[in-house]
A = this chain, B = another copy of it.
């Protein structure tokens, strides 16, 4: 084949466009498909990941969405790293090449060059840039294998969450992110102006998913939730992805825990995470305090207590059930046998709370009583309480913080590494 022509420079509407004299003569293949095309002329497209120049030859490593392709080029054919390129060449088997085969007799056409020298290397095993720099320059940092892998892990875990629930008769729903009252927790909400009316960003789809149990019985949502978190820690984000599920006609919270176990098992299996036992160990809150050596009037588990319970349970997962009612939201269903405690649970993953859930109240009168007991007016909850005026089954659900799950699973030190463009107290860009 004739060598590729150089781009022609055109100026149209003041915009410099580059056209190619020739269009590709072969179909594009992915780097991972190279071994199936040994001896053939192929087109590979991707970014220049790395250039390794030896004395008489240079290797261009091209990264596409599937992996890396090694291209043997002349010593002077170096292009800046991260240049988007199209490479036509002949596939030659080479067990030492990343894909097990490489391209020879290659013609390389730049499709998009960097406008300036790169501020840091993307091809090294670990990024040398600090986390703040990585986040500032996400467009570059996310090209690093480790950062991109975290995004792919989040996508795979989310797909598994959906598939597990689809298989169990759940319907995906989409609910409002702008709400009229800051009901779920007065603090930590973002306020906005909604056509002249004060409104808030939703902290969770809790009320909506409960309402939809009446219509669809089993529902889930994957969506953003917003917390105006004043903390600046490695565990908090101002926007994160909540994997929410809610189901009706449960006996109590243990039915919810059984679904959650299967969902988490599907999620970890999809991303090569730890195996989830058929029966996750369950510890009642009062027993958890005893295990942790904490006073039995503690209202909640401190992080150190959670770690102690995890050590005691062994394995990666343990359920703690029966948290005191006073520490759970007003819609929480009490344990009928021990009414100071609730039909709720946390799922600890490697000693850290990963999922919160439980059975909810389902009778209108119980909601009114629960709000009255907390000295709250039912007025701001009017639209929510409607759902319980129309006949609701016993129900419950859970919420998984996706970025926390991914960070914990991959051993990332900071939840920000599990988000493409994290938002926190001081970060609003990119």
A389–B10 CA distance with the chains assembled, in angstroms? 20
Please indicate the chain B residues that have their CB under 8 angstroms from the CB of A386 in the complex. 137, 139-140, 430
Please indicate the chain B residues that have their CB under 8 angstroms from the CB of A17 in the complex. 334, 336, 366
Question: Is A172 at the interface (CB under 8 A from chain B)?
Answer: yes
Q: Which of B142, B241, B325 contacts A214 (CB 8 A)?
A: B142
Binary contact readout A358-389 vs B (1 if CB under 8 angstroms, 0 otherwise): 00011111100110110000000011101111
A274–B363 CA distance with the chains assembled, in angstroms? 43
Asked if A174 meets B154 with Cβ closer than 8 Å, knowing A140-B390, A191-B192, the reply is yes
Q: Which of B215, B218, B336, B421 contacts A148 (CB 8 A)?
A: B215
Q: Which of B12, B114, B158 contacts A339 (CB 8 A)?
A: B12
- Whether B193 lies near A172 (C-beta < 8 A) is no
- Whether B251 lies near A23 (C-beta < 8 A) is yes
Question: Is A226 at the interface (CB under 8 A from chain B)?
Answer: yes
Please indicate the chain B residues that have their CB under 8 angstroms from the CB of A46 in the complex. 217, 249
A372–B241 CA distance with the chains assembled, in angstroms? 37
- Whether A336 lies near B151 (C-beta < 8 A) is no
A384–B421 CA distance with the chains assembled, in angstroms? 12
Stretch at the interface among A175-183, A261-269, A278-286, A313-321: A175-183
Question: Is A55 at the interface (CB under 8 A from chain B)?
Answer: no
Binary contact readout A43-82 vs B (1 if CB under 8 angstroms, 0 otherwise): 0011110000000000000001110000000000000101
- Whether A393 lies near B19 (C-beta < 8 A) is no
A407-430 with Cβ < 8 A to chain B: 419-421, 423, 425-426, 428-430
Question: Is A134 at the interface (CB under 8 A from chain B)?
Answer: no
- Assign chain A's interface to a size class: 35 or more
Asked if A369 meets B15 with Cβ closer than 8 Å, knowing A45-B249, A112-B392, the reply is yes
Question: Is A201 at the interface (CB under 8 A from chain B)?
Answer: yes
Please indicate the chain B residues that have their CB under 8 angstroms from the CB of A137 in the complex. 386
- Whether A118 lies near B390 (C-beta < 8 A) is yes
Please indicate the chain B residues that have their CB under 8 angstroms from the CB of A96 in the complex. none
Please indicate the chain B residues that have their CB under 8 angstroms from the CB of A393 in the complex. 45, 47, 84, 111-112
Question: Is A169 at the interface (CB under 8 A from chain B)?
Answer: yes
Question: Is A129 at the interface (CB under 8 A from chain B)?
Answer: no
A309-366 with Cβ < 8 A to chain B: 325, 334, 336, 339-340, 361-366
Question: Is A296 at the interface (CB under 8 A from chain B)?
Answer: no
- A interface with B by C-beta (< 8 Å): 10, 12-19, 23, 28, 30, 45-48, 64-66, 80, 82-84, 86, 111-116, 118, 137-140, 142-143, 147-148, 151-152, 154-155, 158-159, 162, 166, 169, 171-180, 190-195, 197, 199, 201, 207-208, 211-212, 214-218, 222-224, 226, 228, 238-239, 241, 248-249, 251, 325, 334, 336, 339-340, 361-366, 369-370, 372-373, 382-384, 386-394, 402, 419-421, 423, 425-426, 428-430
